A = this chain, B = another copy of it.
Amino acid sequence: MALMEISVVPIGTPTPSIGDYIAEVVKTLEQEGAKFKLTDMGTIIEGDVEEILALARKLHETPFKKGIQRVITTIEIDDRRDKKVSIEDKVKSVMARLK
């Protein structure tokens, strides 16, 4: 099980606001039934590598569907094979160390 953080950035938008495009990313994840968490800097998705890369492919496409001609997508995958990792596990594990 892996976690992925993805950030889909449309280039050449009329204003500096890109919230509408991020909303499309979230809508797509809801339609796909993905397990995810929106943060201020991206979206964290949980799943098998195969599955989350297929989602990345779909999310990367969303701004093009709205007429954008260039998209820069940043993806980080944290994949452990020695234990199962779910959303919020890593935060909890670090917080427990601080007590």
Interface, chain A (partner B; CB < 8 A)? 3, 5, 7, 9, 11-20, 22-23, 26-27, 37-42, 44, 49-50, 53, 56-57, 60-61, 64, 68-82, 87-91, 93-95, 97-98
A78 surroundings in chain B (CB, below 8 A): 40-41, 70, 72
Contact of A89 among B9, B40, B70, B72 (CB under 8 A): B40
A27 pairs with B89, CB closer than 8 A = no
A53 surroundings in chain B (CB, below 8 A): 53, 56-57
B70 pairs with A80, CB closer than 8 A = yes
Closest residue of B by beta carbon distance from A6: B75
3 tightest CB-CB pairs across the interface, nearest first? A16-B70, A12-B16, A23-B97
